[in-house]
Amino acid sequence: MTTTSAGPHVHGLGEPYKRKEDARFIRGKGNYVDDIQLPGMLYADIVRSPYAHALIKSIDISKALQVPGVVAVITGKDLEAAGLAWMPTLSGDSEAVLAVDRVLYQMQEVAFVVAESRYAAADGAAAVEVDYDPLPVVVDPHKALAPDAPLLRPDKKDRQPTNQIYHWETGDRAATDAAFAEAEQNGVVVRQDMYVPRIHPAPIETCGCVADYNAATGKLTVWMTSQAPHAHRTLFAIVSGLPEHRIRVISPDVGGGFGNKVPIYPGYVCAVVAALKTGRPVKWIEDRTENLTSTGFARDYHIHAEIAADKEGTVKALRVYTLADHGAFDAAAQPTKFPAGLFHICTGSYDFKHAHVAVDAVHTNKAPGGIAYRCSFRVTEASYLIERMMDTLAREVGKDPAEIRLQNFIKPEAFPYRSALGWTYDSGNYERALRLAMEKIGYEELRREQAEKRARGELMGIGISSFTEIVGAGPGKHFDIAGIQMFDSCEIRVHPTGKVLARIGVQTQGQGHETTFAQIIAAELGISPDDVDVEHGDTDTAPYGLGTYASRSTPVGGAATAVAARKIRDKARKIAAYLLEVGEEDLEWEPGRFYVRGSPSKGKTIQEIAFAAYTNCPPYLEPGLEAVNYYDPPNLTYPFGSYICVVDIDRGTGEVHIRRFLAVDDCGTVINPMIVEGQIHGGLTQGLAPALYEQLAYDEDGNVLGSNFQDYLIPTAMETPRWETARTVTPSPHHPIGAKGVGESPTVGAPQAIANAVVDALAHVGVRHIDIPITPWKVWAILKEKGLAT
């Protein structure tokens, strides 16, 4: 067939194409790990420590083994005998799979019970008798560093006798100190302590797995709620000694990850051990309390930040010291080379000449972990501190928070911009985003309204956050997880009839990759996304990838997909030239077809070319139409945004009401604006949560105070305001389609817009900072102290 038309409309980039995956989700046909049922499957439950710190004197499993239906009980000593009592964490620490002689946090795993039913497993777990000898507990990281603090990790012989995990610093200390000395004399210095509390990723689907070992083939299959199936397979191979090609990790539909499903948890390892021991498949699924109390947390950064500026408020230097609470084991997923990850972005959107950052990480008697999105490689903490500090500086020099930002932004012509901490921002136009936000929300009018209300004694605040994000790790030479370089991949097969199967190394947890990655291929090849199926999450079939977290899918996996599609197009051009009997250089491309330059009616569609690839391929080419790309990005991408929040404060209750929240985001080229909008709504809600509600708190004895959704507050539709959104587009110059990541931006940018708004409402009575979550109680106490409570 030849055609002179511009080809079919293919719903490529920039189109709000409906999510292909929703067809199964809205019909209830999603396939989550707890939906997996295998013949003869056993069920597991975990015996967990009630103490935050204790010696284990003895474990008696005899009564548990008598519980009807209980098949086996595994203890730390059993694992020790098999050399499996300890597993490596993503940060290179060693974590107890099951505690052998000491527990280090409440809810730590002590024994693993497998039974014919989940109920029998729970009864068996209740019948395990553990004799503990309680030890002094450390929950405050400052106290953990005290010389007389109990030593939590006597197993770490290399760093005795201290609870410190690492000291890390970056930047130019001497130049930064000199800039501060100068500002002390001739400018201004602002300082603020702030705590970014421990929160939990809190996905609706908790963690779990089904492990199945086939003794006849020697193959282990693990269905698990994994955000990084290939990395998990490699770690399983290293820990278990099983050959990697005989391990298959399948991550089926995942009900939210937010970083919670990047670490390997003891339950996964125990399920595998139990499957090997019993010869039967074993399912382990956490309940809500287990998920909130024992799996990877986010944040827990105690920050002291200082800005040196001139008298006009032009910033000169940033100095930050942070004490990071990593809990009992250092299991944060951070690149080996940067233990505080992308905390480097703390100079934000501003043109600092000098910066110095130091971080000390310590052990406490809390659960280990710490991972992206709700922790975002520490970007959230960095962005929060700089945006809070810019407001503090504005107050100090008597300027409006918008004015101080406009004055200090990195200018559009300065990109690519090298930050004081040595990172190269790819592209940005911060002033355009903030001005758009101010115009859309009616900033000047809001300031007038605020002044009038203040005169009447009403409390209204306006908060700004003009954040810069940093997403899309690699490059592989700088970034790794457990040593594995952070590239990503795509494999495309065009079948003879022109239909496409694409397999990608990243793994969706609800972000819509089956749609957006199909749209990238649609745009590159001129094939409708309906004709492109995207598969992921099965290590036996998908190409090796480092997983989905920290908004890396589009910057890395999306780039791999575009490059693989371009390889297909390159080969298609050769086949078209052969079929049309012209030189390759005589061909023009339009979506879906090549045609002869000057003779638009003489052409071949991509479907015709695909058919020829299998039926009439040029003799000098290999038959078939397939390509694979492993993409190692040359740089990260730097999405950004300007958010403005308007709050009213109830003087009677201290309650903060978010009246308006406008988010201007820039993630470069947008693949699917509807999906991006959804990502931003979800991310904003996850940014609202720590600002006003969420905190994983502990009492002095290490008891977790928020172990269910009644005590650990996540916002529902009732608390969530109507988000207003707008967009600017500043493409990434190094990404094949100019796209930057987006999912993480709103959760990084939102908390400080809300915090700044609340502080702004109270600034006239001298309030400079309130630690998040800004609860009604905290606000009411301030109102009372300032004589404003009614």
Expressed in angstroms, the distance from the first to the final Cα of the chain is 79
* Closer by beta carbon to ligand CDP, 671 or else 779: 671
Beta strands in 311-431 (DSSP E): 315-325, 354-362, 417-418, 424-425
The answer to whether the bond into 773 is cis (omega within 30° of 0) is yes
Q: How far is the CB of 32 from ligand CDP (least distance, A)?
A: 18
Q: How far is the CB of 517 from ligand CDP (least distance, A)?
A: 7
Per the annotation, the verdict on 375 as an active-site residue is yes
Q: How far is the CB of 673 from ligand CDP (least distance, A)?
A: 7
Q: How far is the CB of 10 from ligand CDP (least distance, A)?
A: 16
* Closer by beta carbon to ligand CDP, 511 or else 730: 511
DSSP 3-state of 558: helix
SS3 sequence of 646-667: EEEECCCCCCEEEEEEEEEEEC
Q: How far is the CB of 529 from ligand CDP (least distance, A)?
A: 12
Q: How far is the CB of 554 from ligand CDP (least distance, A)?
A: 3
Per the annotation, the verdict on 27 as an active-site residue is no
* Closer by beta carbon to ligand CDP, 511 or else 686: 511
Q: What angle is formed at CA 550 by the lines to CA 546 and CA 551, rounded to 5 degrees?
A: 90
Note whether 712 and 200 are within 8 A (CB): yes
Active-site position among 106, 227, 334, 511: 227
C-alpha gyration radius of the chain: 28
Sheet containing 247-250: order of strands: 70-75, 109-115, 42-48, 282-285, 208-214, 219-224, 247-250
SS3 sequence of 113-140: EEECCHHHHHHHHHHCEEEEEECCCCCC
Per the annotation, the verdict on 744 as an active-site residue is yes
* Closer by beta carbon to ligand CDP, 742 or else 767: 742
Nearest to 532 by CA among 517, 510, 512: 517
* Closer by beta carbon to ligand CDP, 301 or else 373: 373
Side chain identity, residue 291: N
Tokens of 367: 């659960």
Nearest to 43 by CA among 125, 123, 119: 119
* Closer by beta carbon to ligand CDP, 19 or else 280: 19
Q: How far is the CB of 610 from ligand CDP (least distance, A)?
A: 25
Measured CA to CA in angstroms, residue 366 lies from 139, 163, 282, 370, 666 at distances of: 7, 13, 28, 11, 37
**Sites of contact with ligand CDP (CB under 6 A):** 511-513, 516, 548, 551-554, 558, 667-672, 675-676, 679, 739-743
DSSP 3-state of 386: helix
Q: Phi, psi (5° rounding) for residue 717?
A: -60, -30
Q: How far is the CB of 135 from ligand CDP (least distance, A)?
A: 40
Q: How far is the CB of 668 from ligand CDP (least distance, A)?
A: 5
DSSP state of 487: -
- Rounded to the nearest angstrom, the gap between the alpha carbon of residue 289 and the centroid of all alpha carbons in its chain is 22
Q: How far is the CB of 207 from ligand CDP (least distance, A)?
A: 18
Nearest to 610 by CA among 627, 588, 630: 627
* Closer by beta carbon to ligand CDP, 52 or else 520: 520
Beta strands in 527-673 (DSSP E): 532-535, 587-590, 593-596, 599-605, 626-631, 640-649, 656-666
* 12-43 as b/e: b if 16+ CB within 10 A: bbebebebbbeeeeeeeebeebbebeeeebbb
Active-site position among 95, 381, 514, 744: 744
Which burial class, exposed, middle or buried, applies to 407 when counting CB atoms under 10 A from its CB (0-12, 13-18, 19+)?
middle
* Closer by beta carbon to ligand CDP, 267 or else 741: 741
* Closer by beta carbon to ligand CDP, 348 or else 512: 512
Contacts of 39 (CB under 8 A, 6+ apart): 281
Which burial class, exposed, middle or buried, applies to 173 when counting CB atoms under 10 A from its CB (0-12, 13-18, 19+)?
middle
Active-site position among 153, 374, 552, 593: 374
Tokens of 266: 């003891």
Active-site position among 375, 490, 645, 667: 375
* Closer by beta carbon to ligand CDP, 427 or else 516: 516
| CA separation for the pair 120, 125 (Å, rounded) | 9
Q: How far is the CB of 483 from ligand CDP (least distance, A)?
A: 21
* Closer by beta carbon to ligand CDP, 516 or else 695: 516
Q: How far is the CB of 682 from ligand CDP (least distance, A)?
A: 10
* Closer by beta carbon to ligand CDP, 281 or else 741: 741
DSSP 3-state of 95: strand
DSSP 265-293: -HHHHHHHHHHHHHSS-EEEE--HHHHHH
- Total residues belonging to the chain: 790
* Closer by beta carbon to ligand CDP, 364 or else 383: 383
Contacts of 254 (CB under 8 A, 6+ apart): 32, 205, 225, 226, 227, 261, 507, 508, 509, 510, 537
Q: How far is the CB of 669 from ligand CDP (least distance, A)?
A: 6
| CA separation for the pair 587, 585 (Å, rounded) | 5
| CA separation for the pair 491, 297 (Å, rounded) | 34
Cβ neighbour number for residue 439 with a 10 Å cutoff = 12
Question: Active-site positions?
Answer: 227, 374-375, 744
